[in-house]
Chain A
């Protein structure tokens, strides 16, 4: 201890204090402050970049999810549109079918009506014709009657039989 105190040099202590003080001041001003500031700003920059990348990743994921959603929606819409179209098609076909049926029915009905009226008119014509024929026959019969009595009678008889059959 005595040796230590003997070796202790106040002058050296003083010089060391001065040098250390000056060194601390100089180093703070010219080295540590700019270095620490630069390190800090660099680390902040790195942190910011990492954060930005993380954000971008999240955004990307959101975007992808959005895209997925949009795609799903679009698919659903297409599905409904297709379904609607199919329905519409079916309905149109159905409509066309009914319409055609109706038209056909009316046409058939018209045709039937026309046939009926034609038949009627034909019948009437036939009746007229038959009546004309009857009159002719009657004329012929009458003429035959006038020549042969017996024959005349026979003829009338047969003719009448025929007429009733008609």
Chain B
């Protein structure tokens, strides 16, 4: 019953957000500079996909081409400029992504170019671009905005707190067998514990790391799944996000490394003395750079590639229309993208699994106590 109530609450929240989106729909007249409205040519498709793969400052559903209405809702922009903290809603940019709309915050002029916010240099009134389309008289600011990705993460966190909180409350009330949606979540928790944490870290020490492993597993999985919805999240395809996750793992296994781990890393026993410093360097680089890098690149690349492939296949219906006609191209695109979508559903789980698995494997390496030779 409780779960049903919470599901209801969740739908109310979603409905509220959508209502908000319509309410905030930008009614300004059609703005010719806005990119990503019409997606008809190969170049436009490329632009659209690369735009999607990036983080964005507003939550954009679609734009009505005739009227130029944007169905989207804006998100707060929080930037640290050379003149201190500036906050405003992203609607101030009027969906401009080419640096034409200048937001004047008194002493600071801000523009948005390719999903990044730039601060105009002192005295400049408009952005000048060089041949490679890089801004010459503006520099990037540190951007703490509630972007689409941050919004996705907050949503995921909320979902996790609600879902697993309900499971925990059920247990706290003395029910030893969960009911409703919690019944689905419980085996997943047991799965992470018994198949990922215990075999890799060991029966004795796994408990301490469960908080991190479980959180990361469900965080990545839910974000991956959110990425497959038409809401257009691409959170785990942001390299900053995966880098942060990988660095968390790295910090955890470096901090909890046992004496044996450090002994084996820095002064490997059973190896000629001359080789030991070389091995130490290799091991350290492996643990500090290579392992986290493999973690972050694997997740980032898989998800980005997945989004890219799905969007390209959906775009088939536009690119193949000339050659095969609208019905065939749409059918092909539908069948292929459905096929890849099912694979992506698997990949969403798989990447969460692999990230958690490797994290626990590395933690297991660090906390292991070897028999002395």
Contacts and interface: CB of A to CB of B under 8 A. Distances in A.
B211 A9 contact: no
A139 B172 CA distance: 148
Contacts of A17: 244, 247-248
B68 to A, nearest CB: 29
Interface in B130-158: 142-147, 149-150, 153-154, 157
A9 B55 contact: yes
A70 interface: no
B214 interface: yes
> Which secondary structure dominates where chain B touches chain A?
helix
B154 A19 contact: yes
A120 interface: no
Interface in A7-44: 7-17, 19-20, 22-24, 26-28, 30-39, 42
Interface in B179-216: 186, 189-190, 193, 207, 210-212, 214-216
A116 B341 CA distance: 138
A4 interface: yes
Interface in B35-70: 54-55
A16 B211 contact: no
B142 A11 contact: yes
B244 A16 contact: yes
Interface centre among A27, A34, A45, by most B CB within 10 Å?
Answer: A27
A19 B157 contact: yes
Nearest to B171: A38
B241 A12 contact: yes
Contacts of B288: none
Contacts, number: 123
A64 B239 CA distance: 70
B161 interface: yes
Contacts of B79: 11
Interface centre among B79, B190, B207, B211, by most A CB within 10 Å?
Answer: B211
A10 B240 contact: yes
Nearest to B147: A12
A149 to B, nearest CB: 154
Size category of the binding interface on chain B: 35 or more
Contacts of A42: 176
Contacts of B54: 7
Nearest to A40: B207
B167 interface: yes
Given A24-B212, A27-B215, A7 B161 contact: no
Nearest to B162: A31
Given A24-B215, A27-B215, A11 B144 contact: yes
A35 B210 CA distance: 11
Nearest to A29: B211
Contact of B215 (A9, A13, A16, A20): A20
Contacts of B142: 10-11, 14
Interface centre among B142, B153, B245, B247, by most A CB within 10 Å?
Answer: B153
Interface string B241-252: 101110110000
A35 B241 contact: no
B144 A15 contact: yes
Contacts of B108: none
Nearest to A4: B239
A94 to B, nearest CB: 77
A152 to B, nearest CB: 149
A114 B55 CA distance: 147
A16 B153 contact: yes
6 contacts: A12-B147, A20-B153, A24-B211, A27-B161, A33-B168, A42-B176
Interface of A: 4, 7-17, 19-20, 22-24, 26-28, 30-39, 42, 45
Given A10-B142, A23-B215, A32-B211, 10 more contacts: A11-B145, A12-B143, A12-B150, A16-B149, A27-B211, A34-B171, A35-B164, A35-B186, A39-B171, A39-B193
CB-based closest 3 A-B pairs: A38-B171, A11-B143, A31-B164
Interface of B: 54-55, 79, 116, 142-147, 149-150, 153-154, 157, 160-161, 164-165, 167-168, 171-172, 176, 186, 189-190, 193, 207, 210-212, 214-216, 219, 238-241, 243-245, 247-248
